[in-house]
Amino acid sequence: MVDKDLLSIQEARSLVRSAQKAQAEIRKLNQSQIDAVTEAIGKAAVQNAESLAKLAVEDTGFGRWEDKTQKNLLASEMLLDNIRGMKTVGILREDDVEGIWEIAKPAGVIAALIPSTNPTSTTIFKSIIAIKAGNGIVFAPHPSALNCIKATVDMIKRVLVEQGVPADLVSAMSVPTVQGTEELMKQSDLILATGGPGMVKAAYSSGKPALGVGAGNVPVYIERSADIADAVDKIMSSKTFDNGTVCASEQAILADRVITDQVKATLKAKGCLFLQGDDVIKVKAIMERPGGGMNPQIVGKDAQTVAAMAGITIPAGTRLMVYEEDGIGPEFPFSKEKLTALIGYYTVEDWRQACEYCHKLLINGGIGHTLSIHSNDRNVIREFAIEKPVSRMVVNTGSTQGAVGISTALAPSLTLGCGNEGGSSTSDNVGPEHLFNVRRVAFGKDQKAPAVAAATTTVSVNEVERITELVMKRLKEGAVI
């Protein structure tokens, strides 16, 4: 019998060693050469965006290939548009006035943990930002997404070979196990973890530097000054995107009492069904595992599929199932993260109560991540921005598209930091700038940096003789030199 765990551990060690050798080679490349590699990967990803998206759905059963195609484009085309021109290799800055020079130092080999909800797009994204910063990268795939992640890595390897770069710069474990992933994290120089709380906790407990991102439980507040029709349109577009698999998607709607009837009517007109009676009991019964935690069987499923699993009948065209939850906490499943076509609903008296409810919802599984608000009251927006324990607050846009940088000016990213409040080492949308260290050269304040040496040219004896002959010839011809 083959011991799968030992095989996985050995594979992790081998892949890291190979990546270390490849990374040592690309350290010889300059910025323009590194950029050429990332641009080539991005081009290939755009060309294969649709086929990889379809493979991801086939592998995992999560989401919609049309939306996964858009995520693949975000991870390649949009990302490169954003980081093009960013200095990440060699000398970043020479400030002779202040006497500070800055030099980029790559992290080395990155261990990248990939979730099943966004497998191909996250693989593309992490590969590009890792190489942009001069690193090698080894992926620990989620077992249910192994085929599509392997196909994505194979595509990237082909590009590397075409660019004259060692293919081992990017690789993925073919035998992913918990023990193998733990070994990968121990052997690497930096961990880039995207996934559930358990995965992120393991990354931070590995003893190696880690960038981990936590779960999202995004509240969306529709304040009385909002454009209700616009708010509902954007919430629907966001929450149904890829059947709700993005961690930044809305999980609970809060609306002021003075507008709640209008909000509900608009939601119903846009394809929402408010659950009642026995249907609520049946749906709640499939939302979580017996021991707690989200039921993976409902993740990334549309409303009709979830309804069938629950044994209820819903009208054709239903896009979301909504429930007016009674409270917030572990015993109230609609107050938790639901990466599917389910969303909670709360009526609040005013922005102050909304503030209180949002805080409780965030503590209930999404602290440090994202908050969404629809409002035209600058003072209310400011109050929420100051008080809420989140790393990003998106205003008057869909939370999914806004948080990842599609509909906002935030950096395009599929790794959203949650700050120290959420147990993360960064609150940023993670990019190449997080994957290298900066070495600083500091001159004494009473000193000046050495002047730039004058350019010199070395000329051979033969060349001197040739030039001399040419000058003498021109002089005999009467030229003035």
Catalytic positions, please? 247
Model confidence over 41-75: pLDDT tens digits?
999 999 999 999 999 999 999 999 999 999 999 99
One domain for residues 229 and 313: yes
One domain for residues 110 and 176: yes
Question: Looking at the predicted structure, is the pLDDT value of residue 423 above 90?
Answer: no
One domain for residues 210 and 222: no
190 falls within a domain: yes
Name which of 118, 150, 140, 125 is nearest 53 in CA terms. 118
Per-residue pLDDT, 448? 80
Per-residue pLDDT, 467? 64
How big is the CA angle at 231 (ends 331 and 342), to the nearest 5 degrees? 30
Q: The tokens of 446 are what?
A: 């009473």
426 falls within a domain: no
Local structure of residue 429 (DSSP, 8 states): B
CATH of the domain at 18: 3.40.605.10
118 falls within a domain: yes
Model confidence over 325-372: pLDDT tens digits?
999 999 999 999 999 999 999 999 999 999 999 999 999 999 999 999
- Give the mean pLDDT of 412-437: 93
One domain for residues 160 and 274: no
Q: With b meaning 16 or more CB within 10 Å and e meaning fewer, what string describes 245-270?
A: bbbbbbbbbbbbeebbeebbebbeeb
Model confidence over 234-248: pLDDT tens digits?
999 999 999 999 999
One domain for residues 197 and 55: yes
Q: With b meaning 16 or more CB within 10 Å and e meaning fewer, what string describes 315-336?
A: eeebbbbbbbbeebeeeebbbb
Per-residue pLDDT, 287? 97
Across the strands, what pairs with 438? 104
- What's the structural domain count of the chain? 2
Nearest-angstrom CA–CA distance, 90 and 110? 19
Query: What is residue 329's three-state secondary structure?
Result: coil
Residue 1 pLDDT level (bands cut at 50, 70, 90): very low
475 falls within a domain: no
Local structure of residue 149 (DSSP, 8 states): H
One domain for residues 281 and 404: yes
117 falls within a domain: yes
Query: What is residue 268's three-state secondary structure?
Result: helix
One domain for residues 156 and 9: yes
**What is the span of the domain harbouring residue 366?**
218-412
Q: Which of 196-200, 407-411, 425-429 has the lowest mean pLDDT?
A: 196-200
Chain mean pLDDT for the chain: 93
453 falls within a domain: no
CATH of the domain at 289: 3.40.309.10
- Give the mean pLDDT of 466-471: 65
129 falls within a domain: yes
- Name, in order, each residue with C-beta under 8 angstroms of 342's C-beta and a sequence gap of 6 or more: 244, 283, 287, 298, 306, 320, 321, 322, 323, 334
One domain for residues 206 and 234: no
One domain for residues 131 and 30: yes
One domain for residues 322 and 408: yes
Residue 481 pLDDT level (bands cut at 50, 70, 90): low
One domain for residues 79 and 210: yes
444-450 contacts, C-beta under 8 A, 24 or more apart: 444/99, 445/99, 447/99, 448/96, 448/99, 449/94, 449/96, 449/99, 449/101
One domain for residues 352 and 243: yes
Per-residue pLDDT, 210? 87
Per-residue pLDDT, 13? 97
62 falls within a domain: yes
294-297 contacts, C-beta under 8 A, 24 or more apart: 294/336, 294/337, 294/338, 294/339
